[in-house]
Amino acid sequence: MDRITAARGTELRCKGWRQEALLRMLENVLENCENQQELIVYAALAKAARNWDSYHAIVATLKSLEEDETLVIQSGKPIGIMHTHRFAPLVIMANCNIVGKWATSENFYNYQEQGLIIWGGLTAAAWQYIGSQGVLQGTYEIFQSIARLHFGGSLAGRFILTAGLGGMGGSQPLAGTMANAAILCVEVDEARIDKRIASGYLQKKTADLDQALAWILHASASKESLSVGLLGNAADVYPELIRRGIVPDVVTDQTSAHDLVYGYIPAGYSLEQVIALRKSDVNKLQADAGASIAREVSAMLEFQRRGAIVFDNGNNIRTQAVQYGVKNAFDIAVFTEAFLRPLFARAIGPFRWVALSGEAEDIRTIDQYILEHFQDNEVAVNWIRLANQYVPVEGLPARIGWFGHGDRTKLALAVNAMVREGKLSGPIAFSRDHLDAAAMTHPNIMTENMKDGSDAISDWPLLNAMLNCSSMADLVTIHSGGGGYSGYMTSAGVTLVADGSADSDLRLKTTLDNDTGLGVLRYADAGYEEAFDEIEQKGIRRVNV
């Protein structure tokens, strides 16, 4: 079968642009994925569809789907077509939701083996993944926040150590150089290093630690930005740096540490040996991966003790380390609580848009609009300037931008008007990461140490999804964790199509206002001052109890 890429241009294969948009979003996820043959998009195991039969059935259904019908998808498999109405979502999904006490990684792997379930990641099965750019601004904002809090406002001359150059982790080198740092990324799979160099996210590579350190230390001494991919295993390299007495300024990790079977590669193993061990002795594989993570996290704790700023970058690495004997792994902070919560409390989060025609010029036109009309939004304007300069196109041209309540709606309505007036070459799809104010419960990542102790309560993403259906979104999905994330998270996703119509105006305004409105209310409910301020400023209607 030919490699799948997203259709370009303005010719429709479906009965309307809304259906065509969702089909192109699905194809785009596969165009950008890490392993197309296996339908694996990122994060070790996050898939776009249950299997190839399901994929082809989804494509065929989207092509014949009427405006007043809704396709129902369960864990990446199309189940049925329901007659609804033209303001109902075209697609609703529930991916990988397993009831409470059954939500263990063992049960997940069994269900997966039987073909009953897939893990959808956040944006993979939701057809919202846009390549490494999807987390790029988030990683950049974390680095900027660290610069402000700890390094007098700039990371120039600073050394960042991290690991993992996969679908998401691949954003780290570019985020590091955009923040003016020298960043060393340890990666065990040379093909991933090469992929990031080819996509323009990474600058140099070597398998020699001395060479890597020479480049990095020279760059930081001369305050130049630089990214280096080091072929090696983080569980070897981190302790080796401790042994040599080298202390980076900032340390994190974005390997797929959440999954001990399909994600994290234990020290001393080749990739082929790991693949073989998955079949021959999965328990040994898990034990060895856990032991390696324990070594790596112990080194991270030691870096922290020696003065480095160390944080967990959303991959459950601390949780794994505790299970493998590192009792104080949670002395390391998680990025959301440490750096991003003040933004989330105002429902400012990773909004994104995709040029469905494939024309990169459309993204530049929208960039320009933002620079002219959002001048009071410092975070957005700074980011758009940088993104315009540094972020290469991957798949359908797309942009991520952290916007909050009101601003997302303002932007989307302006874009819809541009589509209507022919100022863009085709419709634009809007979505966001599931890591968003109302949309995610993950007590070790998104909602750790919430002020009111509501860390594990997953009513919020469920309400979020129901509200987005009621608000006429085009695609709505509810996901829970799979593999190593089983039992750890529930999230909701949403996609909207700006096709220039008046119906689109209505859908965009209602859904985006309500999506972020609920986010602000969730943080107000937990007692965050920023949320109260946002309610006051923007007239969000809270019921006081």
Region of residue 298 (left: phi > 0; alpha: psi -120 to 50; beta: else)? alpha
Q: Is the Cβ–Cβ distance between 137 and 402 less than 8 Å? A: yes
- Three-state secondary structure call for residue 169: helix
d(CA 21, CA 14): 9
Q: Which one, 220 or 252, has the nearer CB to ligand NAD? A: 252
Q: Which one, 336 or 504, has the nearer CB to ligand NAD? A: 336
**CA distances from residue 520 to 298, 342, 405, 430, 490 in whole angstroms, order as listed:** 37, 11, 8, 20, 18
Q: How far is the CB of 217 from ligand NAD (least distance, A)?
A: 21
**Token pair in block for residue 135:** 């987390």
CA end-to-end span of the chain? 58
d(CA 320, CA 298): 12
Q: How far is the CB of 82 from ligand NAD (least distance, A)?
A: 32
Q: Which one, 130 or 508, has the nearer CB to ligand NAD? A: 130
Count of CB atoms situated within 10 Å of the CB of 399: 24
Q: Which one, 192 or 205, has the nearer CB to ligand NAD? A: 192
Q: How far is the CB of 213 from ligand NAD (least distance, A)?
A: 17
- The contact set with ligand NAD (CB under 6 A) reads 34, 42-44, 135, 138, 163-169, 186-189, 192, 233-235, 254-258, 263-265, 313-315, 435
92 beta partners: 72, 476
Q: Is the Cβ–Cβ distance between 22 and 69 less than 8 Å? A: no
d(CA 367, CA 399): 9
Q: Which one, 95 or 514, has the nearer CB to ligand NAD? A: 95
Q: How far is the CB of 258 from ligand NAD (least distance, A)?
A: 4
Q: Which one, 391 or 508, has the nearer CB to ligand NAD? A: 391
Q: Which amino acid is at 452?
A: D
Q: How far is the CB of 415 from ligand NAD (least distance, A)?
A: 25
Apex 298 CA angle, 294 and 300, nearest 5: 120
Q: Which one, 105 or 514, has the nearer CB to ligand NAD? A: 105
Q: How far is the CB of 135 from ligand NAD (least distance, A)?
A: 5
Q: How far is the CB of 491 from ligand NAD (least distance, A)?
A: 11
Q: How far is the CB of 70 from ligand NAD (least distance, A)?
A: 28
Taken as a whole, the chain contains a residue count of: 545
Q: Which one, 31 or 187, has the nearer CB to ligand NAD? A: 187
d(CA 469, CA 74): 16
Residue nearest to ligand NAD (CB): 166
**Token pair in block for residue 129:** 């993944």
d(CA 280, CA 501): 56
Q: Which one, 266 or 358, has the nearer CB to ligand NAD? A: 266
Q: Is the Cβ–Cβ distance between 230 and 248 less than 8 Å? A: no
Q: How far is the CB of 489 from ligand NAD (least distance, A)?
A: 9
